[in-house]
Structure 1
Amino acid sequence: MSHAPTVPRRDRREPGEVFGSGFSLFADMLLVGLLTSVACLPVVTAPAAFAAASGSLHRTAHDGLPVGVGAYAHRLRAHLTLRALAAGLLVPVLVVVLLVDSALVRSELPGAAVMAPALALLALAATVVGLRATALQAPHRLSVREGLLRSAADPGGALLLAAAVVLAVLITWSMPLLIPLLPGPLAFAATVVDVRSTTAAPHEG
């Protein structure tokens, strides 16, 4: 009697368990961070890269299999749609907003004290919505509208993601050498918030 091959127990996690044993989670985040950083190099591919990262982490949380380069590349190709590339054009716009905000902080222009924090909050909110959008699974993949709706419906999750983004900014400012690894924790944070919200929804119903 033949048995279907199974993954050794040390390489698996319990279904739905995001935090695996040992260093498996740390290794997954490192690999996802590096792969996502490379995939983000063309800039407009950033949404697809984060969506592929979140999809890989979703699968890891669901069935316990570790993240693989081939599986990540397959998801990246699946997410490289015209909608995703169009959404990627917003990334340079966000960078310009941050540069303008930085210039306002250093300037003495009238209204700078109000505009600088307003632009910073706008950029933070846009990043949170973008991360929520990339963490969505089918049938709402890479939907900015759905990301906005879920962010508004789950303010606690939005605050958690905002904290992760602020921490990433602080790390970027203090330790620039860690920038290539930061997409991993950000994608992980977005995935955890998405799993948290989708898990809580049936109980609320």
Structure 2
Amino acid sequence: MTQVSSPSARGRREPGEVFGNGFTLFADMLLVGLLTSAACLPVVTAPAAFAAASATLRPAAGHGAPVRAAAYLAHLRARLSVASLAGGLLPPMLVVILLIDVSLLGSALPGAPAVALALVLLVLGAAVVALRATALQDPHRLSVREGLLRSAADPRGTLLLAAGVLLAGLLAWSIPLLIPLLPGPLAFAATVVDIRSAPRHGSG
């Protein structure tokens, strides 16, 4: 069952916190976004990095607990595995698909717009499933199958997450300086969607 903190609990400031209660969660997302971007630099570590981001932000999303960089690093170490590193090969494949998409949009081939739209939807769907897979709470591990199942079982949450991915893509395209910060809000969105749908999965 999802825990919701009382306003007084959220209003308390933990020792060492710089921001007030109105900006704490926002600052936490930015911090986790920067840590996740740094952890994603080797590329193949991206699944573990996003899974660590979700695990770090889950207490903040559930009951307003403060976020610590040490907690993120601990979650990252726990999620680095051969399987997660193998899954890290998928992001470069998505980049190749996007490059193909861009080249199709600039071509005069018959049916190019339809193929380009299909590729955009494919990349968007893959991003949503990947985010849902990395947002799984322990004892679940990274699982594309579980991400697909949760995406299909919770269409409203999936659409919300897809909207978040589209917004992040637009921000990255229009303001490239924001790119290192975007993984934090994306991981938070995936975590909140997973928390929201958790009772449904638990009862199934």
Relative to the length of structure 1, the TM-score reads: 0.88
Are 2:61 and 2:191, in contact at CA under 8 Å, matched by a contact in 1?
no
Deviation of the 1:201 alpha carbon? 4.6
Distance of 2:195 and 2:159 partners within structure 1 = 15
Q: How does 1:119-198 map to 2 (within 5 A)?
A: 119-198=119-198
Q: Does 1:43 align with 2:49?
A: no
Q: Which runs of 5+ in 1 are unaligned?
A: 1-7, 13-19
Distance of 1:167 and 1:76 partners within structure 2 = 26
Question: How much is the aligned-residue C-alpha RMSD, in angstroms?
Answer: 1.8
Deviation of the 1:125 alpha carbon? 0.2
CA deviations on 1:68-100 (whole Å, 9 max, x unpaired) are 111100100111011110110001000000110
2:71 corresponds to which residue? 71
Distance of 1:196 and 1:63 partners within structure 2 = 13
Distance of 1:65 and 1:11 partners within structure 2 = 9
Q: Which runs of 5+ in 2 are unaligned?
A: 1-10
CA deviations on 1:161-182 (whole Å, 9 max, x unpaired) are 1000000110011100110000
SS of residue paired to 1:151: helix
Q: What is the aligned length?
A: 190
Percent sequence identity over aligned pairs: 68
Relative to the length of structure 2, the TM-score reads: 0.88
1:61 corresponds to which residue? 61
The one of the two structures with greater contact order (alpha-carbon pairs below 8 A, sep at least 6) is 2
Deviation of the 1:59 alpha carbon? 2.3
Amino acid across the alignment from 1:101: D
Are 1:52 and 1:75, in contact at CA under 8 Å, matched by a contact in 2?
yes
Deviation of the 1:113 alpha carbon? 1.7
